[in-house]
Amino acid sequence: MFRRRLAGALAAGMAAAALLTGCGGGDAADGPVTLKVLTWEPGGTEYWKQVKTSFEAGHPDIKLEMQSVPFDKYPEVQGPYITSQSGPDVMANNAGLELFDRRGAYVPLGDKAAEITKDLVTYSGACEGFDTAKPCYGVPFSYQGNVLYYNKAVLTAAGLDPEQPPATWDEFGAACEAVKKAGKTCLALGLSGTFPAYWDFPEIARNYLTEDDVRALLAGKLSWKDPKLVAVLEKLAEITTKGWANKNAPSITMLPDGADIFQRGDAAFAGTIISDAVNWDAFGKALGDDKLGVTRWPAVDPAAPLAQKFSGIEGAVYGVTQWSQKKAAGLEFITWLAGKENGELWVKHAKGQPLNKNVDKALLPSSPAFQKIQELVAQPTLHAGVMLSGPEADALARGWQQVTLGQLTVDKWAEAMQQALERSPTKKQTK
């Protein structure tokens, strides 16, 4: 009896719901195609306003409907779209493993990839296994990676030469001792979240891994108990156990807390990124362009094959979704994203590093730090950070926090990393 009542109630509810929605929707209007684009607005609101205006001006038959979601809530919105195979026509994901994990959502570009991306410096981060011969799922237009920014005034006050920042691990240690004596923090650091994995790990990893090792890391075939990776963890641990970083590093996040320590002039160094924010532009504004120096992270082993290279990664990759009814328009939009016009918008409004080779050089900023970054990025290699799965990135941060607080040894940390790798659903090795 009760069940029948329940079923009746359900049916009534459904009917009411159907009635309510009946009047909504209605897609089949003539006129321009409306493209729904899911984005977290990398580069900022202003840049995306420009994208919409410029693209629509050149393509009167396509309207863009931006669905902006805050970056840290993006997975919660995107996840359900992907599992239900419904939603926007164009979506974004970060290049590397994040994109590969979601490749089922995107239409591979196929033969068109080479044509669309012909003017880009690199686009392998949008392709399976970083191999442009394999399927590529979208189009990047920005370049990202990590450098070490430094405050020349703090180095000078510590009796160091601001034009000769430390280039090796030992020099860096000596510099940190000097900075500490002068009463400042050496390296501004926050160990919460995924920043340690994406911002610090690749910089140390470059001293121990080859490009093949990095690909093995992506495939889940390199064990965390491998001496090379244990050595990376040991060096990361040194940064905090030797007291080079701020005391509250284990409990703060790099953004905004860690970066703020550097911005207010309380730290000599900060390892952050080249595009978007907390970069040469933001720090230059806070400290003065002439006070801001930039260098590669110090090399543990300067002779290592990748030690003097730049771990670069394409920024957000935009792809057309499998379920879109407007795939042609979607393709047109992402093709435009890779082009010169958008590259110039990116430089101008997002203060970012463009991927398009043809961007007018006159548009590039004159900041000395930016010019120095141009030298650094000229020698690119793979970025080990974006090869880490979610569980690995999480375990890296938590392990580092505990090692810093003396609750964990580096060996146990390596074990935890290996367990995280084995738990990772997307790197599961088929038995």
Partner 1 sequence: MNPRHSARIGRYLLTFALVVVAVAAVYPLLFTVVSSLKTQAGFAHDPLGLPAGITLENYLEAFRRMNMPRLLLNSLITTLGGLVLSVLAALLVAYAVTKLRFRGGKIVFLLIIVTLTIPSQAIIYPLYQTVLDLGMSGQYQGLILAYAAFGLPLGTYQLAGYFQQVPDELIEAARVDGAGHLTILFRLLAPIATPALAALAIFNFVWMWNDLLLPLVIMGGSDSKTLMVGVSLLSGQYDVSVPLVSAGLIVALLPVLVIYLVFQRQLVSGALAGSGK
Partner 2 sequence: MTISTAPVSEPVAADTPPAPARRPPRPGRAREWWLGAALVLPALVLAVLFKLVPLVRGVVTSTESSSGFGGSEFAGADNYTRMFDDPMVLTSFRNALLVVATLPVWIVLPLVLALLIHQRSPGWKFFRAVYFVPYTIAPIVVGIMFRQILAPDGPLNALLRSVGLQPLAIEWLNGRYSALFSLVAVALWSFFGLGVMTYLAGLATIPEETLEAAYLDGAGFFRRLWSVVVPMLRPTVAYWSVLCASGVLIWLFPLIYALTQGGPGDATMLPEYLVFLTTFQFLDRGYGSAIGIALFVFVAVLSIFSVRHMFTEGTRKPR
Binding residues for partner 2, rule: CB under 8 A, are 5-6, 9-10, 12-13, 16-17, 75-76, 79, 82-83, 101-102, 104-105, 191-194, 247-248, 250-253, 256-257, 389-391, 393-394, 397-399, 401-402, 404-405, 407-408, 423-426, 428
42 CB neighbour count, 10 Å cutoff: 22
85 CB neighbour count, 10 Å cutoff: 11
- For partner 2, which is the closer residue by CB, 248 or 409? 248
- For partner 1, which is the closer residue by CB, 62 or 278? 278
- Please, which of residues 87-116 interact with partner 1 by CB under 8 A? 87-88
DSSP string, 101-128: HTGGGB---TTHHHHHTTTBS--GGGBG
d(CA 100, CA 126): 8
- For partner 2, which is the closer residue by CB, 301 or 394? 394
| Structure tokens that stand for 130 in this block | 């970083």
* Cβ at position 372, least distance to partner 2 in Å: 32
* Cβ at position 38, least distance to partner 1 in Å: 6
Largest CA distance in the chain: 86
- For partner 1, which is the closer residue by CB, 18 or 29? 18
Name the phi and psi angles at 271, rounded to 5: -95, 100
Task: Pick what 245 binds: partner 2, partner 1, none; C-beta below 5 to 8 Å, kind-dependent.
Answer: none
- Please, which of residues 56-85 interact with partner 1 by CB under 8 A? 65-73, 76-77, 79-81, 83-84
**Containing H/E element for 74?**
helix 74-84
* Cβ at position 253, least distance to partner 2 in Å: 7
Q: Provide the CA 386 distance to its chain's centre, in angstroms.
A: 7
Residue 312 identity (one-letter amino acid): G
Nearest to 267 by CA among 200, 189, 191, 187: 187
Task: Pick what 160 binds: partner 2, partner 1, none; C-beta below 5 to 8 Å, kind-dependent.
Answer: none
Judging by beta carbons within 10 Å of its beta carbon (0-12, 13-18, 19+), is residue 223 exposed, middle or buried? middle
Task: Return the bridge partners of 310, or none.
Answer: 380
| Structure tokens that stand for 54 in this block | 């410029």
- For partner 1, which is the closer residue by CB, 271 or 399? 271
d(CA 145, CA 381): 10
Task: Pick what 101 binds: partner 2, partner 1, none; C-beta below 5 to 8 Å, kind-dependent.
Answer: partner 2
Task: Pick what 81 binds: partner 2, partner 1, none; C-beta below 5 to 8 Å, kind-dependent.
Answer: partner 1
d(CA 201, CA 33): 44
DSSP state of 25: -
Task: Pick what 67 binds: partner 1, partner 2, none; C-beta below 5 to 8 Å, kind-dependent.
Answer: partner 1
Whether omega before 391 lies within 30 degrees of 0, making that bond cis, reads: no
Task: Pick what 273 binds: partner 1, partner 2, none; C-beta below 5 to 8 Å, kind-dependent.
Answer: partner 1
- Please, which of residues 254-293 interact with partner 1 by CB under 8 A? 255-256, 259-260, 263-265, 273, 276-278, 285-286
Binding site for partner 1 (CB under 8 A): 2, 5, 14, 17-18, 20-21, 24-25, 38-45, 65-73, 76-77, 79-81, 83-84, 86-88, 255-256, 259-260, 263-265, 273, 276-278, 285-286
